[in-house]
Structure 1
């Protein structure tokens, strides 16, 4: 066997030391690159937050101020016009409340301060609740035609009821926002025979560029610049949907052929195997009762 000489051992040790230093430097460089990318993403998020929040809050605030100033300075204003002013101010105040509520909800979800309450649910009835909400907030002439293709013999699903309805509502609202009244929205349920049901919301609207299909789920994401957008909102709805679906162990994703080609949003929700469904659970399964604050999101409970 070869016997290493002292000078050979020293050379091997020196080479090993240099290789170790090089590996440490390479790892440090990779970490630095990753940190730089995170900082750039954080800076973009901050810039989007400032621009979008400023625009979305300033607009309703200006309207409220004009309405209140008019009411205060014109005591002889007709009763009909006074009611119009009040309704306008109240509508914009509600819009601001929803924006702030979404912001706080997403913050709590991302920090793990939401308590989930899974239960056996009828997916069909949850969809009916979401449809009822959308139809009550958008007149028939303002929204696209909505078609629900939902079988009657679906298995029960296991999820937090109010958040499931919230996910469906936000996906439908998003589809309505980017689809003209002449377009169509379709809700479908797909089953592959596995442990999940797949819900899809398809629209014939604006569509999404293929390289943006992941970005749309980022908080504050906006396809257009904050000051030249044709639709309102802070870009939080889909980010909230992603957090909700992750909460029950599902997945959410989007497909689109591109601009003006429509979009399809998918999410999965776990089912309760039919073999384990008791007659009692079938009888008692029901969608969550409507929240008193159904126009926004459910109230949240902090852990601790």
Structure 2
């Protein structure tokens, strides 16, 4: 449970830390990209203004290729855009640009980005703008910003590497924060476990003395007790039995926490053990519960801790009897599976368990119906004991339930005996 909680905290911390860094990196990338393109846009507007000023007032527009620096393209089109009056500078890239602008409308004072295929098949990234020189001529200017595009790609690649590093840092930081957050939780849980273990040991002696005193009182004063006193004595004995069971369960769970829960393996018939428990419960409920046992093999030998397996069956059968509808049937189905797996289910036709309660069923002291603790008996430790016994035998226990229909507990244990 603690490992699951630590992993969950690590995941949460790492995720939020990484998302925060990712947002920062994304903002940096977009900010730099925006600044570079804004600079390019300002440049192309300055170029457009410069070229317009150069041609203003000329009666006949004539452009010489060598008249313009090679830092940008300048194309002058006729009104019909079918004839090019001038292209500068000369070169294949300029020709590519001039072919492109012949298909573009006028006018665009703001720079616009466009990817063109260069003369050698390479991609050329340009930003261009346009304006009218006079009623018969249109000016297009463009600038090759492939170097800026490469800078953006390099910037993106660098930020991606930083993002990968941030991911690893996020996991490390998340794990450290989770461990730090877990320290007080672990200390609290360890303190609770120690208290339960110590209290259980300390309670055994006074409960044993109290139980022995009740036995002596009953043996010596049986004939002198009034009916009311006899009833009170019986109630006290029942309470002592419940306390003994509670202390035994707490001690078992304390041993599991300390890793000291031992298993005394022996070979026995699972079918016989289950049959004995079924007969006991049928007598206990005086026919008010119908329990059906389905076993494929009368023997079904297993190698396990007989006492623990009996307790496991007792917990599941006791729950089924307590929470099933009066007169309804309870079914125990046992099967053999490959790999020495013995599986069995305990099914009742009770009120069922809400889906939101199922994840907490095996928690200690947890009860679905809090108000029925005293009426039903027990302290909410039964299923915790069942889970501990299943884990001790390297098995699994699962629950399926449908409100208003019933509940099925499914257990798989690798305990079938090897028969040569």
Aligned residue for 1:81?
228
Shift in Å, 1:206: 2.2
Instruction: Report the counterpart of residue 288 of structure 1 in structure 2.
Output: none
Asked if residue 146 in structure 1 is aligned to residue 294 in structure 2, the reply is: no
Question: How far apart, CA to CA, are the structure 1 residues paired with 2:347 and 2:228?
Answer: 40
Provide the residue aligned with 1:130 in structure 2: 277
Superimposed CA distance per residue, residues 182-222 of structure 1 (whole angstroms, 9 cap, x where no aligned partner)? 22211111233442011111001121122332311111111
Secondary structure of 1:217's aligned partner = coil
Query: Retained in 1: the 8 A contact 2:265–2:303?
Result: yes
Tell me which of 256, 267, 283 is aligned to 1:109. 256
CA contact (8 A) 2:339 2:414 kept: no
Cα RMSD, aligned residues only: 3.7
SS in 2 for 1:218: coil
**Is 2:242 the partner of 1:100?**
no
Aligned to 1:277: 419
Matches of 1:199 and 1:165, distance apart in 2: 13
Which runs of 5 or more residues in structure 1 are unaligned? 1-10, 50-63, 65-76, 279-304
Q: Corresponding residue for 2:328?
A: 183
Residues 35-75 of structure 1 deviation map (CA, whole Å, 9 limit, x = unaligned): 29957x959x99xx9xxxxxxxxxxxxxx9xxxxxxxxxxx
Question: How does 1:158-197 map onto structure 2 within 5 Å?
Answer: 158-197=303-342
CA apart distance, 1:156: 1.8
Correspondent of 2:401 among 237, 256, 277 = 256
SS in 1 for 2:399: strand
Q: Distance between the aligned counterparts of 1:147 and 1:135, measured in 2?
A: 10
- Alpha-carbon displacement from aligned partner over 1:238-272 (angstroms, at most 9, x marks no partner): 11111111111111111112x22211111112244
Question: 1:266 and 2:410 equivalent?
Answer: yes
2:390 pairs with 1:245? yes
- Counterpart secondary structure, 2:370: coil
Q: Which has the larger radius of gyration?
A: 2
SS in 2 for 1:82: helix
Report the Cα distance in structure 1 between the residues aligned to 2:389 and 2:400, rounded to whole angstroms: 19
Q: Aligned residue for 2:175?
A: 27
CA distance in 2, matches of 1:38, 1:256: 32
2:353 alignment counterpart: 208
* CA spacing shift, 1:95–1:225, aligned 2, 3 Å: same
* Counterpart check, 1:121 vs 2:268: yes
How does 1:5-44 map onto structure 2 within 5 Å?
19=166, 24-32=172-180, 35=182
Matched position secondary structure for 1:177: helix
Question: 2:373, 2:379 → 1: CA distance?
Answer: 13
Q: Deviations over 1:283-302 (max 9, x none)?
A: xxxxxxxxxxxxxxxxxxxx
Question: Quick check: 1:155–1:271 contact (8 Å CA) kept in 2?
Answer: no
| Structure 2 segments unaligned to the other structure (5+ residues) | 1-157, 197-210, 212-223
SS of the counterpart of 1:189? strand
Tell me the secondary structure at the aligned position of residue 268 of structure 1: strand
Please, what TM-score do these two structures have when normalized by structure 2?
0.48
- Cα offset, 1:125, TM superposition: 0.8
CA contact (8 A) 1:171 1:201 kept: yes
Shift in Å, 1:234 = 1.2
User: 1:228-239, aligned counterparts within 5 Å?
Assistant: 231-239=376-384
